[in-house]
Amino acid sequence: MAMRPALVVWLVSAGLLAGCANAPASPKPPPQAHVLPPAADAPAMCRMTDPREILLEWAEVPEVRRGRMPASLADTVSPAERAAAPDFDGYRLGTMDYDWVYLEPDRSPAEQRPVRWRVESSGRGFVVTLQPGRNGRLLDDTGPHDVYEFIPDAVQPTIYIFERVSDCWRLTSVARTPQEIER
């Protein structure tokens, strides 16, 4: 199954597809700093109201995240991840082959872990809880792609708090436990 173009561009720019025979050339050099100016195409994302659409846009179009997340998120990137992908911004929700994955740039594309997420309304926005895991037994292979049992990893989930700020969606806070969320 083919990868989505945005993911291929991210994987190539992150150096994760280096050495693949048919990997496209990177369209631009990696950024020099972790804080980038807001993208010009962000207003479409700003007008979205469905959290699922917003999360998909954030997962597939890294440019919409620029300038819309706490700088401290980059501090969560491990040295191995920084070495594998110098431009990785720390945002963990991604897509690969039409499945949601928990992004870890120091893993190969085939080793990216599946993730389950849930959305809850909260004040001026919504809270997203990400739980990485692994695929268990095959449940269904009759559709366009295989469906596996999801087995959650025994780790604390990652919690993202999104709010409307200046008429656009921003990731305003990141937590590891519900107790860390300031309501």
Residue 27 lies in a domain: no
pLDDT digits (tens, 9 = 90+) for 101-110: 999 999 998 8
pLDDT at site 167: 84
Residue 19 lies in a domain: no
Residue 84 lies in a domain: yes
Residue 111 lies in a domain: yes
Residue 62 lies in a domain: yes
pLDDT at site 154: 93
Residue 10 lies in a domain: yes
Residue 21 lies in a domain: no
Query: How many domains is the chain built from?
Result: 1
pLDDT at site 24: 37
Indicate whether this model's pTM tops 0.85: no
What is the domain range of residue 126? 5-14+41-180
pLDDT at site 61: 87
Residue 28 lies in a domain: no
d(CA 137, CA 151): 9
Q: Give the residues of the chain that fall short of pLDDT 50.
A: 1-38, 183
pLDDT at site 138: 95
